[in-house]
Structure 1
Amino acid sequence: MEELDPTQYYNNRLASLASLPTSPYSQMFRVSMTFDHYREKFKGLSNGERLAETTVSLAGRVMSKRASGSKLVFYSLESAEGTIQAVSDARSLVGGNFAAVHANIKRGDVVGVSGNPGMSNRGELSIFVKEIILLAPCLYMLPKGGKNRVSKGVCHCAVCSSFLTQDEQATWRPGKPRNPNAYVLKEQETRYRLRFLDIIVNPEVKFVLETAHSAVNYIRSFLDQRGFREVETAILNSKAGGAAARPFNTHHDASEMDMSLRIAPELQLKQLLVAGYNGVYEVDKQFRNEGMDLTHNPEFTTCEFYSAYSDYHDLMTMTEELLSGLVKKITGGYTVSYHSNGYDSPPVEIDFTPPFRRIEMVNGLEDTMGIELPKDLASEEANEFLKKTCEARGVYCAPPLTTSRLLDKLVGHYLEETCVNPAFIIDHPLIMSPLAKQHRSKPGLTERFELFVNKHELVNAYTELNNPVEQRDRFVQQLKDRQGGDDEAMVLDEDFVKAMEYGLPPCAGWGMGIDRLVMLLTDSLNIKEVLLCPAMKPPEAVPPPNEKGTPQA
């Protein structure tokens, strides 16, 4: 039956299950311990030892089935905690015909087993089956590795193999190179749509996705230890503020009010500093109605925090401490391997050892490009100068050609490209930073920094503007940009300005994209690799893959 066409296999499996005297979908099966607990408790058994007086119950998915003659069957059972071997022989099975019981169990089925703990003669911890029950059959043929396929996507190129130990090459961990092209199920469209199947047949995916959990836990602990309070702000708002982005818009029928999904929690978090909190943070989803590419998803996770009586210098130090400590905790060191140029090329080493390099934006542009920027970057003359500069240098900027957008393109082309190891680009022009405080000693600039790693922005932070009069003026300028066609310019938020009028203490704010951080830690070139449920365009239909891991036509 295993060699049948997938559709024929599905139909035959349904017919076979329908002929059983009882339902193959069990009401309940009580497990006595997890796989981790089982391994820990019985790992000290000797080869060939079996605890005949001890009975335990485990449950898992059958990932392989192998018969040795007609009286002995070996199963590899998998759960969230890994794999345990189940050994069933005709002499020990209680209840039912041995051949009939095992004939109804196929690869992919979820089963429950009760039996005796033991160690095989070859030293593999096993459970010697007394009873095996089909709990939930799998109706499809699971993809399986052939001669040249592996279940783990550890990168085995010559460069990676040269510095990975034998154990590291067998099991991937965060910070080390990997290669999804070596997975059993490789086709991305199928993997991302059928994420449950991706996790079942590509065990490494589970560890990639769990890296986000580890990172968020570390960030929460870091901030909690420094006296920050975690809060939750509204996802639905009458106005989408706090960032330069296009929102998702909706309508609340009961209140007859247009609303937007939040694009950032910044304005609400800063109002809590007005209320008297010294430090607040939020780890949550943001929603931006923009394009999708290798590093952008319309729904993504961020961490933002705001600290009263701090400035951007303090936050640069905190950023170095947070990220270097996080990388060390999760990977065991300060460097991560990342295939920046594709999985077919050797990975680069990204070093998070502090301190991080600092690049002044305006001076850095002038030095790198060999030009002198206009002193008044808010002037029409500056805008014309930047238009001509971009055109002459072959740097394309999509309309509207605002000064902020033109500067951003030049920075991306000339400065961000130099930031492989973590580097701060600091002191942004005022025209690019509507919520940041003016620099205390550099007119026309702000106390702002962005952290770039592997040439991509990871963190954005600044000393916060706390003058309500100046804040309203900047919102008005943003409104002019919006009326000029820039639909990513910020909206005027009178509620936030009103809160500032009650007194926003001197403070600094910080935001980081969690998904991009996890991409770096897991050598993921596509943001969908680190999202449990990435946004996907509607398919015509997603057929089940065959045994080779490719979808059926």
Structure 2
Amino acid sequence: MKTGEQDTSVEVKLRGRIIFIRSAGERLRFYVIQNGEEQIQIVSQAKEGDDMEPYLRQHEHLGRGDIIGIVGHPGRTAPRGRPVGELSIFASQIILLAPSLWMIPKDTGFTDAEQRHRNRALDLIANRSTRDIFRARHQINFFITNFLSSRGYISVETPILNQIAGGASAKPFMTYHNDLKRDLFLRIAPELPLKQLVVGGLDRVFEIGRVFRNEDIDLTHSPEFTTCEFYQADANYQDMMTLTEGMVFGLVKTVTGSHITSYTTQTGETHQVDWTTPWKRIEMIPALEEATGVRFPDSQQLHTDETRDFLLGLLEKHKIICSVPQTNARMLDKLVGEFIESTCINPTYIIHHPVILSPLSKAHPTYPGLTERAEAFVCKREICNLFTELNDPFEQRERFMEQARQKDQGDDEAQGVVDEGFMRALELGLPPTGGCGIGLDRLLMFLTNNYSIKEVLAFPMMRDEVKRGKEKVVGGDAAGVAGAACADELEAKQQKLMEMRAEMEKLEKEIAGLAIK
């Protein structure tokens, strides 16, 4: 189509949000509208001799952020001083579908992280980078579902409300069921119900869903987050490591187009992460011995008081703080974080965890006191946890009882109650099984180069925001942004909307007979 040409034989109907407005005299208006990631210019021109009042009244009420419908035909403008006009829609009718009562920011004008997290809708309107994050989340979920389904896994759903919080070491949220008259817990992991399905003969199962943990909120932790857990009969931790790294490698290439991604930490340190398989393996206890220069107690004695004294001395020597309760498991975990996790930039498995750190993992047949378990770390952060599942009901009960003892010592994250429902299922016989849990939010953080988990959650949990004077505003209601400073202004805009609606009813009748180019 040449400059200045219009094709009146083709009728086009569009909907979009106005992101730019300009005029060239009374009779000519230009709008740029956006729908998804596509933008196009709309040209509206009043004919010579037409009554200008309805035309002017209609366009007077249109502003940036409004959603409009357009009926028109394609063409190219004929700008002065430029050889090629812009492809545009020449409108014969413009209808206000939904006004925006809030002024939207221009281009990258909405950058304050706190306000973006509180007002995600406006953030999505203003920032393509935010929209890209949630499209990447969809790609991750879609890829994992297809990957596992193509290998014989079936997608299942397990309860979010449970009588017992099990399947992981974490502090749960608690609620109360009025009809049943008992406390219930939001799940901290779907592991135990999923393994019961394997007991029942569903040999390969997976679930993508939310879990909830009543713990600290920081850059990498949220009280609710998304995991994918999958379990496979006739598999062990070695099989699950191979399956997991292969799945994540394919996922990374699909989402980013490369096997190498860039990640910048909150301190400004940038890492080039190579996701190529196979991932590196590090044995936990030998690595700790090499890093600290001392020999650790026998792995079968890591639960003893003598080991506790040894770990306390090691923490003191290296000036590492471990909050109370200083159980052997918590102190050992602190040392792993300080000396091993901190070295893992490219995807790395830390393997063969002690039994005291792994209440649901099968004991290693070659290394007494250790388990067939692995955790994967990227840029010093955990992304998945996997192991050969413990299927001995007698040993599992002993492990649960040890967790209860740790709970009595003050460890709120320990699993303090024996899940008898799970134990009954285990007593029916769990075949040799491998399982894995992946934190999808943290994986998304790495693939979109965001160091804050709030950036990858559509609606992150926010602390209360205190505004002017004594007024305290909570949650999403605290998002006063870009041109809408207070409740009085919002009320005035709502009044204007009512007036606009009445005006539009009159305009619709007048516009029906008005020809607009």
Per the alignment, residue 88 of structure 1 pairs with 44
The corresponding residue for 1:407 is 332
* Structure 1 residue 103 corresponds to structure 2 residue 67: no
The amino acid of 1:524's aligned partner reads N
TM-aligned CA deviation for residue 391 of structure 1: 1.1
Out of 119, 124, 145, the position equivalent to 1:199 is 124
Residue 227 to residue 87, structure 1, CA distance change in 2 (3 Å): same
Q: Deviations over 1:483-518 (max 9, x none)?
A: 110111013111111100000000011001110011
Q: Are 1:363 and 2:286 matched, yes or no?
A: yes
Per mean C-alpha deviation after superposition, the further-off stretch among 475-484 and 488-497 is: 488-497
Give the TM-score normalised by structure 1: 0.82
Q: Distance in 2 between matches of 1:517 and 1:537?
A: 24
Offset at 1:118? Answer: 2.9
Where do 5+ consecutive residues of structure 1 fail to align? Answer: 1-44, 145-150, 152-182
Structure 2 unmatched ranges of 5 or more = 79-83, 466-471, 490-517
Root mean square deviation of aligned Cα: 2.1
Shift, 1:82, TM fit: 2.6
Q: How many Å separate the matches in 1 of 2:488 and 2:228?
A: 41
Q: Closer, same or farther in 2 for the Cα pair 1:366/1:186, shift >3 Å?
A: same
Q: Secondary structure at the match of 1:325?
A: helix
Instruction: Find the partner of 1:505 among 427, 431, 453.
Output: 431
Question: How many Å separate the matches in 2 of 1:318 and 1:98?
Answer: 64
Q: Is the 8 A contact 1:187 1:549 kept in 2?
A: no
- Tell whether the 8 Å contact from 1:185 to 1:549 is kept in structure 2 after alignment: no
Q: Give the superposition deviation at 1:222.
A: 0.5
Matched AA of 2:452:
N
Q: Deviations over 1:373-427 (max 9, x none)?
A: 1002121111110011011101110011111111111110111111111000000
Letter in 1 for 2:123: D
1:521 equivalenced with 2:477 (yes/no) = no
Q: How many matched pairs?
A: 470
* Conserved? CA contact 1:545–1:552, under 8 Å: no
Q: For residue 90 of structure 1, report the CA deviation from its aligned partner.
A: 1.7
**2:375 is aligned with 1:450:** yes
Q: Distance in 2 between matches of 1:513 and 1:216?
A: 12
CA distance in 2, matches of 1:116, 1:244: 62
Q: Aligned with 1:63: secondary structure?
A: strand
Cα drift, residue 339 of structure 1: 1.1
1:118 to 55, 75, 78: 75
Q: Counterparts of 1:203 and 1:332 in 2: how far apart (Å)? A: 19
Tell me the secondary structure at the aligned position of residue 354 of structure 1. coil
1:195-216 CA-to-partner distances (Å, cap 9, x unmatched) read: 1011111222111122111111
Shift of 1:94: 11
Distance 2:399 2:51 in 1: 78
One-letter amino acid of the structure 2 residue matched with residue 347 of structure 1: T
Aligned to 1:138: 100
| 1:334-353 to 2 correspondences below 5 Å | 334-342=259-267, 345=268, 347-353=270-276
State yes or no: 1:530 paired with 2:456. yes
CA distance in 2, matches of 1:94, 1:488: 74
Aligned residue for 1:235? 160
Q: Give CA-to-partner distance per residue, 1:245-276, whole Å, 9 cap, x none.
A: 01110110111111111000000000001000
Is structure 2 residue 211 aligned with structure 1 residue 286? Answer: yes
Percent of aligned pairs with the same amino acid: 45
Structure 2 residue 294 is matched with structure 1 residue 380 = no
User: Match of 1:77, as an amino acid?
Assistant: I
Which residue is equivalent to 1:416?
Answer: 341
Q: Distance in 1 between matches of 2:152 and 2:77?
A: 52
Q: Report 1 or 2 for greater relative contact order, CA contacts < 8 Å, sequence distance ≥ 6.
A: 2
Deviation at 1:48, TM superposition (A): 4.4
* Residue identity opposite 2:101 in structure 1: L
The match for 1:129 is 91
Q: Cα distance, 1:79 vs. partner?
A: 2.0
Are 1:309 and 2:234 an aligned pair? Answer: yes
The answer for the alignment partner of 1:546 in structure 2 is 482
Question: Does the CA-based 8 Å contact 1:84-1:126 persist in structure 2?
Answer: yes
Offset at residue 96 of structure 1 (A): 6.8
Equivalent position SS for 2:338 = helix
- Any idea what SS the aligned residue of 1:534 has? coil
Deviation at 1:465, TM superposition (A): 0.3
Amino acid at match of 1:351: D
The answer to whether 1:256 aligns with 2:184 is no
Matches of 2:350 and 2:2, distance apart in 1: 59
Q: Which residue of 1 aligns with 2:514?
A: none
Partner SS for 1:214: helix
Aligned pairs (5 A) from 1:24-103:
45=1, 47-91=3-47, 97-103=54-60
> Any idea what SS the aligned residue of 2:185 has?
strand
CA contact (8 A) 2:103 2:484 kept: no
**Structure 1 residues 123, 528: CA separation in 2 closer, same or farther (over 3 Å shift)?**
farther
Q: Tell me the distance in 2 between the aligned counterparts of 1:54 and 1:437.
A: 69
Deviation at 1:292, TM superposition (A): 0.2
Q: Return closer, same or farther for 1:64/1:428 CA change in 2, 3 Å cut-off.
A: same
**Structure 1 counterpart of 2:442, which letter?**
R
Q: Is the 8 A contact 1:228 1:280 kept in 2?
A: yes
SS of the residue 1:97 aligns to? helix
Q: Residues of 2 paired with 1:139 and 1:377: CA distance? A: 63
The amino acid across from 2:56 in the alignment is A
Match of 2:420 among 494, 500, 505: 494
Distance 1:386 1:138, change over 3 A: same
TM-superposed deviation, 1:546:
2.6
Q: Are residue 332 (structure 1) and residue 257 (structure 2) matched?
A: yes
Task: Specify the code of the residue in structure 2 equivalent to 1:362.
Answer: I
Map of 1:433 onto structure 2: 358
Matched position secondary structure for 1:192? helix
Q: How far 1:123 moved relative to its partner? A: 5.6
Q: In the TM superposition, what is the alpha-carbon distance from 1:348 to its structure 2 partner? A: 2.0
Whole-angstrom distance in 1 between the partners of 2:422 and 2:407: 19
Superposition deviation, residue 545 in structure 1: 1.6
Q: Hey, what does 1:189 align to over in structure 2?
A: 114
Following TM superposition, by how much is the alpha carbon of 1:69 offset from its aligned partner in structure 2, in angstroms? 2.6
How is 1:389-400 mapped onto 2 (pairs within 5 angstroms)? 389-400=314-325
Answer yes or no: is the 8 Å Cα contact 1:73–1:89 preserved in 2: yes
Q: Please tell me the residue identity of whatever aligns with 2:257.
A: G
| Amino acid corresponding to residue 430 of structure 2 in structure 1 | L
Shift of 1:471: 0.2
CA contact (8 A) 2:284 2:353 kept: yes
Contact 1:88–1:128, Cα closer than 8 Å, also in 2: yes
